[in-house]
Amino acid sequence: MTLQTLTVLLCFGGAVVTGFLAISFWRNPEAGMAAATHRPEKLPLVMIDRYIAFTFLAVAAALYGDPLVITVLFVAFAFMGLADGVIYARAGHPHIKHTAAGLASLCVAGVALLTESLNGAA
């Protein structure tokens, strides 16, 4: 097995674990919290970690400079922002910041995808 293959397999392994947690939260939020060992009172601190990680990912993608990587990353960001916006809107809470962040991320993804599609189209 090559290091490339191992790297890809480990990446898929991480996706499986993360996907399992997502399904756990979706089916039963309390069970998801228990499976992830999250504590509700610590979620504001956890969000700090998340936003630092999102910032790191965006900066890393920008420095790497591959439009396809940027597209995929910002599609994920758009999903998070829009999904959060829907959750808050359905609950009757303000949602515009989440919805706007999702739409802005979708714009970044669209420009990056356009860039990717035009590369080599000379």
By three-state DSSP, how is residue 94 classified? coil
CA distance 72 to 78: 10
Q: What is the pLDDT along the chain (122 residues), one digit of tens a residue?
A: 999 999 999 999 999 999 999 999 999 999 999 999 999 999 999 999 999 999 999 999 999 999 999 999 999 999 999 999 999 999 999 999 999 999 999 999 999 999 999 986 55
Q: Where exactly are the structural domains of the chain? A: 1-38, 40-122
Query: What's the one-letter identity of residue 114?
Result: L
Residue 91 is given by DSSP the state T
Q: Which residues contact 35 (CB under 8 A, 6 or more apart)?
A: 20, 21, 24
CA distance 29 to 21: 10
Two structure tokens written together for 106: 């979708």
